[in-house]
């Protein structure tokens, strides 16, 4: 097996990382599963940022597996464990999903989480010095992180405790695998008794959702990937959401998107909207992109799939793209000041 081909950094893969990363693809576990099940076909699914490692992982696996085993790679977009390639899953004896923690376990699926090897403690130290209240002023701190850094979670907790903090953590709901884990659509693990939260992880979108979901908390972001410490500021984001809602208030014809990805469907929510609005049309689709909607010519859309499509990609759509609650505000059923972050709590 060639280690250097399968382990490496992600700097040019769209994730824009500043650190080199090494990944453990757990090939031995995959080979064992293939042998145990006498599998003839193996399907590999990678998240977007790791797709270009796919061929090298397939090469390494082919070297380790019997010759008659066919290895294939999913070309479907993939953004989370909610987004399993079910077509591939049905047609392969072993299906491997890389990069996310399980949203729902199944005998058929092998989840390979791909933990980051980035050292989180220097940036946690910076967060402690610059943004966290000292334990003498407020000893309570909530701790959350993403699946990528979950392997360090216990160490992070101990690190804070050694510095005098009373660390509050919890496992969220069924959509989350681990204690302290957050997803872009679920912050149930942050429902803890602390006014300050430390989020350790890459990017600003997760902590922004967290800060919106818990406006009473100060959310400190320790980003070990981009090496920055900030405090989540929801103001700009809220303005963008208000603008979309205002724009949609004049809409007559609505497209209501029901996402067919296995872990993103909110059928009842989508159904309720179309049942109560004769000018609303249920549109089913897997990947929700601006060009796929162009030909429908609706005035506005409601997205019941991944909330991140609305919040992160919303500005790319030509017509306003709203969350279900924003829709209710736009048609006058709820007030603008009730606006909350759209979250997702079930599996399938």
* Footprint of ligand SF4 (CB under 6 A): 79-80, 82-83, 183-185, 264, 306, 308, 344
C-beta of residue 277 within 8 angstroms of C-beta of residue 331: yes
Distances in whole angstroms, Cα of residue 241 to Cα of each of 133, 212, 246, 277, 315: 30, 12, 9, 22, 10
Handedness of CA 14, 225, 76, 308 (dihedral sign): negative
What is the closest distance, in whole angstroms, from the C-beta atom of residue 206 to ligand SF4 in the complex?
9
Nearer to ligand SF4, 10 or 306 (CB): 306
What is the closest distance, in whole angstroms, from the C-beta atom of residue 97 to ligand SF4 in the complex?
12
Nearer to ligand SF4, 127 or 232 (CB): 232
Nearer to ligand SF4, 194 or 200 (CB): 200
Handedness of CA 268, 273, 277, 282 (dihedral sign): negative
What is the closest distance, in whole angstroms, from the C-beta atom of residue 153 to ligand SF4 in the complex?
18
Please give the helix or strand (H or E) that residue 189 lies within, else none: none
Nearer to ligand SF4, 159 or 341 (CB): 341
What is the closest distance, in whole angstroms, from the C-beta atom of residue 47 to ligand SF4 in the complex?
9
Can you state the angle between helices 27-37 and 54-64, rounded to 10 degrees?
Answer: 50
What is the closest distance, in whole angstroms, from the C-beta atom of residue 82 to ligand SF4 in the complex?
3
Nearer to ligand SF4, 181 or 244 (CB): 181
What is the rounded distance in angstroms from the CA atom of residue 284 to the CA atom of residue 44? 26
Nearer to ligand SF4, 143 or 306 (CB): 306
What is the closest distance, in whole angstroms, from the C-beta atom of residue 340 to ligand SF4 in the complex?
16
Distances in whole angstroms, Cα of residue 284 to Cα of each of 67, 112, 152, 304, 315: 40, 30, 39, 10, 21
């Amino acid at each position: 097996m060639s280690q250097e081909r399968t382990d490496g950094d992600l700097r040019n893969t769209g994730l824009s990382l500043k650190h080199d990363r090494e990944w453990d693809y757990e090939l031995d576990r995959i080979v064992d599963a293939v042998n145990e099940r006498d599998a003839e076909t193996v399907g590999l699914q990678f998240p977007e940022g790791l797709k270009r490692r796919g061929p090298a992982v397939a090469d390494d696996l082919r070297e380790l597996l019997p010759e008659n085993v066919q290895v294939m790679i999913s070309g479907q977009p993939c953004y989370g464990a909610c987004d399993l390639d079910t077509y591939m899953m049905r047609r392969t004896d072993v299906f491997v999903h890389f990069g996310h923690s399980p949203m729902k376990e199944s005998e058929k699926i092998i989840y390979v989480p791909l933990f980051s090897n980035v050292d989180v403690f220097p940036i946690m130290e910076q967060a402690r010095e610059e943004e966290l209240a000292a334990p003498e002023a407020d000893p309570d701190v909530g701790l959350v992180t993403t699946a990528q850094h979950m392997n360090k979670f216990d160490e992070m907790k101990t690190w804070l405790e050694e510095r005098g903090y009373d660390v509050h953590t919890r496992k969220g709901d069924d959509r989350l695998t681990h204690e302290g884990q957050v997803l872009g659509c679920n912050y149930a693990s942050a429902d803890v008794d602390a006014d300050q939260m430390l989020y350790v992880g890459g990017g600003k979108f997760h902590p922004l959702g967290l800060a919106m979901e818990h406006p009473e908390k100060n959310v400190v972001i320790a980003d070990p990937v981009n090496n920055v410490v900030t405090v989540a500021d929801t103001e700009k984001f809220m303005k963008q959401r208000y603008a979309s809602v205002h724009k949609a208030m004049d809409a007559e014809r609505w497209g209501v998107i029901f996402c067919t990805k296995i872990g993103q469907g909110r059928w009842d929510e989508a159904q309720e909207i179309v049942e109560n609005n004769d000018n609303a049309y249920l549109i089913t689709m897997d990947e929700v992109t601006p060009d796929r909607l162009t030909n429908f010519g609706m005035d506005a859309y409601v997205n019941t799939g991944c909330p991140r499509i609305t919040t992160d990609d919303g500005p790319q759509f030509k017509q306003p793209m709203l969350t279900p609650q924003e829709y209710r505000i736009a048609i006058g059923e709820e007030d603008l000041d009730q606006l909350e972050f759209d979250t997702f709590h079930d599996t399938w």
